[in-house]
Amino acid sequence: MQGNYFGAAPFIVTPLQGAVTAGFRVQYAHGTDVDGTSDAGFKEAINIGKSADVIVFVGGIDHTVEDEAKDRLIISWTGNQMELIRQLAALGKPVIIVQFGGGQVDDSELLANDAVSVISS
């Protein structure tokens, strides 16, 4: 949520904070890191997804993956984010993917899934 050309933002409203402030009833699980390989948070995210009307996955890339001095050779989703998205989509609920990052990631698999909607920042 920080750009790499404009310095540090004076304040940040996270998607979670924004949803709560807007009055949505929100359940939250961390799930996984941007470039994570651990699935330790998957179970909690899946359990919350089972009870939700709509699942919102917030992910993508950040400056740990790409910035001015750190180019990527591939544009796939990093870490195990896509695996968590697959498991959430398998629950049969509408899934909204909020994709953050300054660079592109390959959304082909997501766009081919009728249950998934993608919002890019």
Per-residue pLDDT tens over the stretch 45-90? 999 999 999 999 999 998 888 877 777 888 999 999 999 999 999 9
Q: Domain containing 75 — which CATH number?
A: 3.40.50.1700
Judge whether 98 lies within some domain: yes
Q: What are phi and psi of 70, to 5 degrees?
A: -140, 90
Q: How many domains does the chain have?
A: 1
pTM as predicted = 0.90
Task: Report the distance separating Cα 54 and Cα 43, nearest Å.
Answer: 17
**Average pLDDT score over residue span 86-104:** 92
**In the predicted model, is pLDDT for residue 42 greater than 90?**
yes
pLDDT at 3: 63
Judge whether 26 lies within some domain: no
Residue-number span of the structural domain to which 45 is assigned: 36-120
Q: How many residues does the chain have?
A: 121
